[in-house]
Amino acid sequence: MADVPQLWMRNETRLTERRAPLTPQDAGRLVRQGVRLTVEDSDHRVFPLAAYVDAGCRAAPAGSWADGAAPRSAYVLGLKELPPTPERLHHRHVYFGHAYKGQAEAPALLERFAAGGGTLLDLEYLADAQGRRLAAFGYWAGYVGAALAVLQARGLLEGPLTPMPRAELDRRLRASRAVPPPDGVQLRSIVIGGYGRSGRGACDALVTAGVRVTRWDRTDTAHLDRAALLGCDVLVNAVLTTRPVPPFLTSADLDGGPGRDGRRLSVIADITCDTGSPLHLLPVYDRLTDWTTPARRLGDGLRPLDVIAIDNLPSLLPAEAARAFSADLLPKLLALGTGTPDPDWLRCREAFTEAMTTLRPTFVRDGDEQPAA
């Protein structure tokens, strides 16, 4: 096996982020293949540091990559946002950067990479030649998002949320079936993108809760029936788009459709959470929700409408979500050390390069770029 740059799995600074990009078992597989793997301590990761050490990983204090402990050649592996410092990012960072869709925070993040000469290998863009993502939390994001939506629709969702095993969440969903619908009509749902990874998870949760499910695919969104969206009880958006398209619902639709006197729609769960981006498909809301306040009421009227838009939904089922994601990511991490440039990682890096060219016409990078694979 060719020399493998060190992998450095950082602590997640968001306290509600309990997932890990690698499980201890998969970390051990990397170590046995000769990979040098350091894992930072964390007081909220679902897997204890001792399990990684037992698997052969080195341990490091939380956040020490940012203090210069990680070698310049290391791939710094994580999931969610980086801390605000250091201002100059030197390493190759592998995580979900959410910086290529015009998000408000994107320029500042990309400027940090430009200043330090580092590279963002955004896991959202780690895809095969057909554009299929190779490692994603989509199924569990859809599952949890739809589950929360049903519980909200049945008056059973309370914050703050806490992580739980899937068996407990399923128990709550089955128990929620006993809640009588206020008008005697059983809940009906539409899952937009119902045949994708996130959509499948959402549909499975809705079926567990005894909710009638209608799946929409691209054909349905190409000829959008907004009256149908307003006529269901629960709407789950599981569509990932990379180009601007007409929104599914706007505030005007809510005000003027079956709306004030005939709208059934009472809960929206937006899995994509693209607020602040021109790709936002449900601009009826403009702020994310969180574990403390999982649902936000958009309006009262004769039928209240609540939105759930939590951008780390799978962390509510951290063990299940991490195991599935880690299994997907493992072969791609092994590919970093084959000595041959991996086409999937190269495409991932090209997405970063393209984003940097749109940052501003010219910029100075601190130091030489390092290849992505």
Q: Which of 141, 190, 124 is nearest to 310 (CA)?
A: 141
**Under 8 Å between Cβ of 149 and 188:** no
Among residues 90, 91, 93, 98, the one annotated as catalytic is 98
Active site (annotated) includes residue 101 = no
The dihedral through the CA atoms of 11, 100, 252, 191 has a sign that is negative
Say how far residue 19 (Cα) sits from the centre of its chain: 11
Tokens 């599914």 identify what position? Answer: 248
Contacts of 257 (CB under 8 A, 6+ apart): 226, 227, 230, 263
DSSP string, 169-209: HHHHHHHHTTSPPTTS---EEEEETTTSHHHHHHHHHHHHT
DSSP string, 296-343: EEEE-TTS-EEEE--TTGGGGSHHHHHHHHHHHHHHHHHHTTSSS--H
- How does DSSP classify residue 10? P
Q: Which of 223, 139, 217, 206 is nearest to 170 (CA)?
A: 206
Query: SS3 of 344, please?
Result: helix
Phi, psi of 22 (to 5 degrees): -135, 135
Query: SS3 of 75, please?
Result: strand
Active site (annotated) includes residue 44 = no
Helix (H) or strand (E) segment spanning residue 219: helix 218-222
DSSP string, 122-171: EGGG-B-TT--BSS--HHHHHHHHHHHHHHHHTT---SS-----HHHHHH
Sheet architecture: strand order including 234-237: 212-216, 188-192, 234-237, 267-270, 305-308, 296-299
Residue 144 burial by CB count (10 A; 0-12/13-18/19+): exposed, middle or buried?
A: buried
* Catalytic sites, residue numbers: 80, 98
